[in-house]
Structure 1
Amino acid sequence: MTDIHAFSPFVVTAADAPAVVSPAYDSMSSDERLQFRQAHPRNYINVMRTTDDFPKGQRPTEEEVTAENIEQLNALRASGAFAPSSTDALFVYELEIDGHRQTGIVTEIPIREYGDGSVRKHEETRKEHELRLVSYLKEVGASSSPVCLAYDGRVGIDTLVKAATQSEPFLDFVLPDGIHQKLWQITDEDTIASLKAEFAQVHATYLTDGHHRAASTLRHAVGCHAEGRGAGPWDFLLVVLFPANQLRVLPFNRCVRDMGELTTDQMLKRISEHFVVESIELSERSLPSKHGEFLMLEGNQAYRLTRRFDDPSGSPVRDLDVSYLQDHLLAPILGINDARGDARLDYVTGDLGLAGLQQRLAQDWQLAFACFPTSMEELMAVADAGEVMPPKSTCFDPKPRSGLFLRMS
């Protein structure tokens, strides 16, 4: 079961929301975040700084960054940017961009649901990143970035959410990046009870964004109990629950710095062992239109690659398009065996389209590969099997933003 809890966070005020609510943190480079912070001193992104966000040679210590984050948070709270909730509530959160709309429930769930596997994951986490987030939770004491979970939709939940959105939203604003966000507050006890009963029938949820936040919250809770602190806010995880069929999954495309010692003809000959290779005229319609299809760009040439084989192992991970590309092309032909750490490989989010890949080629990357998006069904199959996807297998857009809620621990 999924045990949702009404809670009473601080919520950004309507007047402050456009300035305080942050852009998608992970979609920005360190340089972009630095420039954004300098231009937007009241944005919540200034509360989430790490040493990596500063230029090399100018990086403060971890202790100095923590102190600055606390100072920025205190300044926002002192300015009245966040108002306390007067009662426990659930929140309906809607994000809309480019004709796509997704509507979810912001709530707390017991962190034990992550620990016992009811919240199912598909990515590995790095211990050093977890520990850094645990330190943040201890020292700064604030959570503002809901972990994003997907669930198999239920008519009962849809009906209750739709009814809640018939009233005027609690918040309604558009950020400069075009994301239209709305928030409704549910305080009616009968409606909350009905939503709790509906979610109790949801037997598994699926992490789509926030693997490290979830893992660090569990690690923090274990530490608090080891210190004898008993029950507390550390036992709960701030989440937003979306129906799986409402989420928009974009591809994570690949670019490769060079072909090693191979000529184009040698590379194409080897690729043809596992792919049908077709030279094509390049246009926006050249992007992959179905599972098993890829677009490869090399200089001014474009090729459609189509998988020759399905994976016979029955593993949902091995049958992913991104796995097939890695296992049958990037690793054996181009020598890229470490998809996470090889400097010859980089990733381009699907929202940048064909132009994003062409820009990389103009920056002296030799090859670019466009993939068909991994589906929610594929993600759920991997998570159900307890397997882990390759790096950068999914790109969810839009993502929940930080600075909307403030939950202190």
Structure 2
Amino acid sequence: MPRQPLALAPFRGLRYTDLDVGRILDSGEFEVANLLAPPYDIPGPEETLELLRSDPHNAAYLTVPYQLNLTMPGSCGGQPARFIYEKAAARLNTWIDDGVLAQDPEAALYVYEQVTVDGTRQRGLIGALSLPSSTAPGPVRPHEQVEHGPVGDRTLLMSSTRANLEPIFLLYPGGNGAATQITEDAGNHGELLVETHTADGTRHRLWAMTDPATHAEIEADLAPRTALIADGHHRYAAYQRMHEYGDDPGWAYGLAYLVDSDANPPALNAIHRVVPKLTADQAAESARSVARVERLDASCLPEAERTLAKAKHPALLLADPSGGFHLVSGFNPRRLAEAAPSRSDAYRELPTTALHHVLLPLWDIPDHRVRMVHDDSAEAIEAARQGEGTAVIVPPLSVEQVYAVAEHGELTPRKSTSFGPKPRSGLVMRVLP
């Protein structure tokens, strides 16, 4: 059976009505876009509370309603899950009725650009991704395992709100094709709708392209290509579930941000772990039975991370919150083969494979008790200090490692990668009629 083409359909985006072009303060300082939020699974409870306090209409009120129920002062935990998502749906509808959010008058494909403070620039297309049927192979390849809980969470939110509130993040090798050329020349193909800056200094710009001829040119260029999920595996699985079981043809599509990795090479950061109630010395001593463990003389975290970067795969760093680091490397190949049978060498060389298949079972720590910390190793160490545990510093994978695993038809362990910069939630949303 032939593969379904890669296709982004234009749609009428739902957007905040007061995110206008060029909103920079008279003082010359950047405006903080207090309506936008990171993807739903990035902020912890404290950061979520900061987002909620930043503006009564911040997108986090919609995307993380369960955290809202737990973190807001005076809130009551333990409410039925369906009630929490129904409240998010009611809030979304109220914002639409009050004019806080409004749909654009014409269907469009959107060009979204991010420029970070270090000059990193990423630009891609936002559209309604056509989802494959259950009988036809699709053009989108996942590379990471998913869990039922987060998939169910996103499915409940989508079914309650009848909306895609934030896009998944896809990469594809565009090879300077027509879609890439049009995206790079967005100023001549569309209208600039938004130019704003978030608190981290990143500039966000959004253009709308409404010309059907432009849509057709993009459609023809994308059709033979394939894409890799960079971020949003659980949301994509929820898209597929809604497509299969939803009662509306609109669920044959899901909101996606598609970036040409040739024109915009992504940053690939690590997701570190915090293991509770386990000291670094205990973890290191136990790990000696399956790997080589070396206590480092490193006087600071950057020095220890440089040593980790030079170590042979797979390798990890155990960080004691009070100071001190252990390098864990040279894992027993037989133990890795026994822990991950019928897997490729590329899979067994991943640091997260060694962690999730070997070390966590050795420490008798279930995966659901491990906290994830995106990108910031110092934050992971501080979280370990607060939780009286150990920070496991994970080296970032390379894009080549991710593609190698995907080419074998395998999925990396959950939360193995953190591609960036990630699209901000709330910039453009998709609602079903």
Q: TM-score, normalised by structure 1?
A: 0.83
Residues 356 and 188 (structure 1), Cα distance of their counterparts in 2 relative to 1, 3 Å cut: same
The one-letter code of the counterpart of 1:373 is P
**Which of 284, 306, 316 is equivalent to 2:346?**
316
CA distance in 2: counterparts of 1:188 and 1:381, whole angstroms = 38
Other-structure match for 1:11:
15
Once the two structures are superposed, residues 293-330 of structure 1 have per-residue CA deviations (whole angstroms, 9 ceiling, x without a partner) of 54332343234444367777634322212213444544
- Which letter does structure 2 place at the counterpart of 1:243? D
User: 1:65 and 1:297, CA in 2 relative to 1: closer, same or farther beyond 3 A?
Assistant: closer
> What corresponds to 1:169 in structure 2?
192
Measure how far apart 1:373 and its partner are: 0.4
Kindly indicate whether the alpha-carbon contact (under 8 Å) linking 2:291 and 2:328 is maintained by their aligned counterparts in 1. no
In 1, distance between residues paired with 2:255 and 2:291? 44
User: Which stretch of structure 1 is more off in the superposition, 119-128 or 254-263?
Assistant: 254-263
Matched, 1:118 2:148: no
Q: For residue 182 of structure 1, what is the aligned residue in structure 2?
A: 205
The size of the alignment, in residue pairs, is 394
- Relative distance call for 1:188 and 1:281 in structure 2 (3 A) is same
Residues 175-234 of structure 1: CA distance to partner in whole angstroms, max 9, x if unpaired?
Answer: 2243321111222333322222221231x2111222222222222222245xxx5xx311
Query: Cα offset for 1:172?
Result: 0.5
Q: Which runs of 5+ in 1 are unaligned?
A: none
SS in 1 for 2:429: strand
Q: Deviations over 1:319-344 (max 9, x none)?
A: 21221344454443x344x3x22x3x
Give distance in 1, aligned partners of 2:414 and 2:233: 13
Are 2:182 and 1:160 aligned? Answer: yes
Contact 2:82 2:156 (8 Å CA) reproduced: no
Give the whole-Å Cα distance in 1 for the aligned partners of 2:416 and 2:218. 32
Unaligned runs of 5+ in 2: 22-32, 338-342
Aligned pairs for 1:3-402 (under 5 A) are 3-15=7-19, 18-55=33-70, 57-99=76-118, 100-112=120-132, 116-156=137-177, 157-165=179-187, 169-202=192-225, 204-224=226-246, 232-244=249-261, 246-259=265-278, 266-267=285-286, 270=288, 274-275=291-292, 277=294, 279-283=296-300, 284-287=302-305, 288-290=308-310, 292=313, 293-298=315-320, 299-307=322-330, 314-332=344-362, 334-336=363-365, 338=366, 340-341=367-368, 343=369, 345-350=370-375, 352-353=376-377, 355-363=378-386, 365-402=388-425
Which of 139-148 and 280-289 deviates more? 280-289
Q: Is the 8 A contact 1:255 1:365 kept in 2?
A: no
CA drift of 1:30 comes to 3.4
Whole-Å separation in 1 of the counterparts to 2:182 and 2:201 = 27
Evaluate the alpha carbon distance shift between residue 242 and residue 331 of structure 1 in structure 2; reply closer, same or farther with a 3 A threshold.
same
Q: Deviations over 1:98-134 (max 9, x none)?
A: 3222111101121117973421112333445434433
Is the alpha carbon distance of 1:201 and 1:282 closer, same or farther for their aligned partners in structure 2, counting shifts above 3 Å?
Answer: farther
What is the CA RMSD across the aligned residues, in angstroms?
A: 3.2
Q: Is the 8 A contact 1:142 1:407 kept in 2?
A: yes
1:92: Cα distance to partner? Answer: 0.8
Counterpart residue type for residue 186 of structure 1: M
2:185 maps to a residue whose letter is: A
**TM-score normalised by L of structure 2:** 0.79
Moved more, 39-48 or 289-298: 289-298
Counterparts of 2:198 and 2:317, CA distance in 1:
33
Tell me if structure 2 keeps the 8 A contact 1:252–1:348: yes
Does the 8 Å CA contact 1:120/1:384 hold for their aligned counterparts? no
Say yes or no: does 1:404 pair with 2:423. no
For 2:283 and 2:208, the matched residues in 1 are separated by 58
> Secondary structure at 1:20's aligned position in 2?
coil
For the residues of structure 2 that align with 1:176 and 1:47, how far apart are their CA atoms?
20
Name the amino acid aligned to 1:5.
A
Residues 183, 302 of structure 1: CA spacing in aligned structure 2 closer, same or farther, 3 A cutoff?
A: same
Query: Take 1:185 and 1:105, find their aligned partners in 2: how far apart are those partners?
Result: 10
Contact 2:231 2:418 in 1 (8 A): no
Distance 1:266 1:48 in 2: 41
Q: C-alpha displacement at 1:406, in angstroms?
A: 2.8
SS of corresponding position for 2:348: coil
